[in-house]
Amino acid sequence: DGGITQSPKYLFRKEGQNVTLSCEQNLNHDAMYWYRQDPGQGLRLIYYSQIVNDFQKGDIAEGYSVSREKKESFPLTVTSAQKNPTAFYLCASTGGDGQRGRPNYNEQFFGPGTRLTVL
């Protein structure tokens, strides 16, 4: 089955450590996105990539970094510069195929998320 996976589901980090969250998709989608979800703040865009070897900052990119070396992978690194990293992180992709068999370049397919806790 095609889909988007994130690992690990739960992640604990000590203050001052960098940590990398994995996101993989086998949907052959061109674009991938990283969001941060906090209670009462909805989904906020961290970074997005429209094509391999290219990515753009979202609304809250400070303290995060990404790479897009392969079409199917878009890892997110939470660096020690991120002052408040404890959150639920969601990865998404889009590639033109909608759920109902009609083209939809705007529909985002989300992974199950990674909950990061800084100890």
Partner 1 sequence: GENVEQHPSTLSVQEGDSAVIKCTYSDSASNYFPWYKQELGKGPQLIIDIRSNVGEKKDQRIAVTLNKTAKHFSLHITETQPEDSAVYFCAASFSGGYQKVTFGIGTKLQVIP
For the CB of residue 77, give the shortest distance to partner 1 in the complex, in Å.
Answer: 20
| Residue (18 or 28) nearer to partner 1, CB | 28
How far is Cα 67 from Cα 63, in angstroms, rounded to an integer? 14
For partner 1, give the closer residue by CB, 18 or 50: 50
**Does 50 participate in binding partner 1 (rule CB under 8 A)?**
yes
Phi-psi region of 113 (alpha: psi -120 to 50; beta: other; left: phi over 0): left
Instruction: Kindly state the smallest distance separating residue 14's Cβ from partner 1, in Å.
Output: 25
Number of residues forming the site for partner 1 (CB under 8 A): 28
